[in-house]
C-alpha cells in the first residue's frame, strides 16, 4: 500500500487520540429507575422466590422515618421461609414494639387457624387484612399484605396493654402505611404527604 494512502489514516488516528474530548465530556448514561423494594401481588407459597426480608431490605432511614426505634433483638430467619425483626416503638417507650416479618404464609392458613380479625382493613393499601397470632390475651395485632415475594406483616404488641385489639390493629395499620409511604411511590400505593 502506498504511503500516501496510509498517511490520511495515520493522521486521522493520531488526531482522534489527541482530541480534547474526554470520557468526562461524554453525556451521562440514563439513570435506571429504582426497583421497587416491595411490590404488592399474589404469591405461590411453594414458589421459587426469595422471601422479602424487612430486616435487611428496608433502609435504616426508612425505619427511623416510620417511627421505629431501637432493634429489640437480632433478626431471626427460618430457612428461607421467613425473616423477622422487632423494633421498639419510639412513641410508646419500652412497653410496645413492632415486629416486621416477611414469610410464605397464605391467607388461607390464617383463616383455617381462626386467627383472622378482619379480611379487609380500612387502609389506602389494597389487600391488607388483620389477624392475631393465636394469643388468648388481646395484646397484639398484625396487619398483613401479600406481595410477589410472600407476605409482609407488621405486628404491634403492647405489654400490659389496656387497649382493645381493635385499637392495637389501628397502630399496626398505621405503621404499615408509614413504611409504605417512606419506601416511596414505586410501591404504587401510598404517597408521602
Most confident of 19-23, 147-151, 183-187: 147-151
What b/e sequence results for 136-170 when a residue is b if at least 16 CB atoms lie within 10 Å of its CB, and e otherwise? eebbbbbbbbbbebbbbbbbbbbeebebebeebbb
Confidence of residue 81 (pLDDT cuts 50, 70, 90): very high
Domain map (residue ranges) of the chain: 54-187
**pLDDT (average), residues 45-50:** 94
pLDDT given for residue 131 in this prediction: 96
Amino acid at each position: 500500500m502506498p504511503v500516501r494512502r496510509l498517511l490520511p489514516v495515520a493522521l486521522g488516528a493520531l488526531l482522534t487520540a489527541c482530541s480534547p474530548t474526554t470520557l468526562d465530556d461524554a453525556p451521562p448514561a440514563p439513570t435506571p429507575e429504582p426497583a421497587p423494594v416491595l411490590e404488592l401481588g399474589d404469591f405461590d407459597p411453594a414458589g421459587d422466590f426469595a422471601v422479602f426480608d424487612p430486616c435487611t431490605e428496608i433502609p435504616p432511614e426508612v425505619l427511623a422515618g416510620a417511627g421505629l426505634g431501637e432493634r429489640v433483638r437480632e433478626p431471626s430467619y427460618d430457612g428461607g421461609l421467613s425473616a423477622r425483626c422487632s423494633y421498639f416503638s419510639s412513641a410508646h417507650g419500652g412497653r410496645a414494639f413492632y415486629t416486621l416479618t416477611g414469610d410464605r404464609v397464605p391467607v388461607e392458613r390464617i383463616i383455617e387457624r381462626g386467627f383472622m380479625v378482619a379480611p379487609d382493613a380500612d387502609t389506602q393499601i389494597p389487600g391488607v387484612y388483620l389477624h392475631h397470632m393465636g394469643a388468648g390475651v388481646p395484646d397484639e395485632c398484625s396487619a398483613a399484605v401479600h406481595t410477589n415475594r410472600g407476605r409482609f406483616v407488621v405486628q404491634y404488641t403492647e405489654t400490659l396493654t389496656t387497649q382493645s385489639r381493635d385499637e392495637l390493629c389501628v397502630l399496626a395499620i398505621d405503621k404499615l402505611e408509614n413504611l409504605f409511604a417512606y419506601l416511596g411511590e414505586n410501591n404504587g400505593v401510598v404517597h408521602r404527604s
